[in-house]
Amino acid sequence: MKNKILRIALMVSGRGSNMQVIIENIKKKKIPGAEVCLVVSDQIRAEALITAKEYGISAQYIDPGPFKTKFDEAGENRYIRALQDARTDLICLAGFMRMIKSRLLAAFKGRIINIHPSLLPAFPGLHAQRQALSAQAGCSGCTVHFIDAGMDTGKIIGQTRVPVLPGDTESSLSKRILEQEHILYSRVIAQICSGEITFPEK
Ligand code: GRF
């Protein structure tokens, strides 16, 4: 990736705090060699879309189809087209609440990463922080990983540990993990830009 500006598309569904930190860090040159070429959301009212537009970034809702947690074929094709039209090099899922499978995965093979609020492989899927508390884990954290066809199973490329403290609630633990997500995600993207982390073989 060296010497080339990495064009990043961010896929979001809600609040967009990870997205915002990435945009800010690119703006402040803390992630050198990257630009955000597109923000796409599967939720028409995602706060993240408003935030991205405030930064002057091209941001759009794209209809994913009728299902709640996956794309239908036409919806998936709409995403692929928009991402290809934006000449996307890297897709960063940032709170995107939908499984990425088959065609989209194939169109951007090895070029989709995600952040997850646990130390994978522990606590994949929804409510990772709640899972950590129920399991009485002494430690949780966050993970950045490449996306494959499984649920949070792709190759891990960055992790930060966050202790679970006595008296922690889902909300307090989520907040402390989120602070670390914000640091970790930008660090991993910067390592991709510098060539320190390489894309898996196609
Ligand atoms: C984060 O905790 C992320 O790990 C998970 O969804 C949350 C998104 O938060 N996948 P935000 O939209 O980035 O604020």
User: Cα of 3 to ligand 1 centre, how many Å?
Assistant: 30
Query: Rounded to two decimals, what is the model's pTM?
Result: 0.96
Is residue 182 lining ligand 1, measured as CB closer than 6 Å? Answer: no
Instruction: Quote the pLDDT of residue 200.
Output: 86
Reply yes or no: is the peptide bond before residue 124 cis, omega within 30 of 0: no
pLDDT digits over 109-167, tens only?
999 999 999 999 999 999 999 999 999 999 999 999 999 998 899 999 999 999 999 99
State how far the alpha carbon of 115 is from the alpha carbons of 33, 124, 201, in Å. 21, 11, 21
Q: Which of 115, 140, 144, 174 to mutate to test the pocket of ligand 1 (most atoms within 8 A of CB)?
A: 115
Reply yes or no: is the peptide bond before residue 117 cis, omega within 30 of 0: no
pLDDT digits over 19-76, tens only?
999 999 999 999 999 999 999 999 999 999 999 999 999 999 999 999 999 999 999 9
Q: Which two tokens stand for residue 170?
A: 């889902």
* Residue 127 annotated to the active site: no
Nearest ligand 1 atom to alpha carbon 14: 12
Instruction: Quote the pLDDT of residue 190.
Output: 98
For 95, other C-beta atoms within 10 Å of its C-beta total 22
CATH class of 6-194: alpha beta
